[in-house]
Structure 1
């Protein structure tokens, strides 16, 4: 046997296994999920097999399809933390400086996440 056969599942693999289970319980077929995400079923299969990681914008869409309120959970977490991470002096400037150094694809991904979290 090779080393790969002893490889433990990654956190992403475990997450996608839970997504598959939720889809199964909800009666959502892989093809229907792929259609909803505007991707090929073969691409969805690669995600489900853990061979390819899903982009954050697709992941947010997928969780929305499954009825997971990511925005609500994030708001709850921020409330639990007292919002301190967002209120720390200079935090906004440091975040903007970091974003400014990212490539265009990553900037667009962050903007999509901000738009999703900011929309109500």
Structure 2
């Protein structure tokens, strides 16, 4: 299922990105959920693997999409922060503005774009 435009293995950039400011993409390791989101976390493009809704419930799917949106927003903020820093804005000011840095975005991405919590504590045999 794709909300937005059809994609293959990447989160596309489109003309609609300019409408929401700088957007960035993030994806789960498996690629089952891929999102392109603005700095605010507003999704610009969402791709969900066609078999995923049948494998997990609506609430779990929504949670996965939200986590990937969070990672994409952090990546967009880090990109904006880097551009502002390259333009001469003081790092202390950038911190007060609240834009995450590259290390923070990477940490958020690692937490958000994994496959989520295990469904059960029981081992599968």
TM over 0.5: no
**Greater strand proportion:** 2
TM-score, normalised on structure 2?
Answer: 0.27
**Greater helix proportion:** 1
Q: Which has the larger radius of gyration?
A: 1
> Which structure has the higher relative contact order (CA within 8 Å, separation 6+)?
2
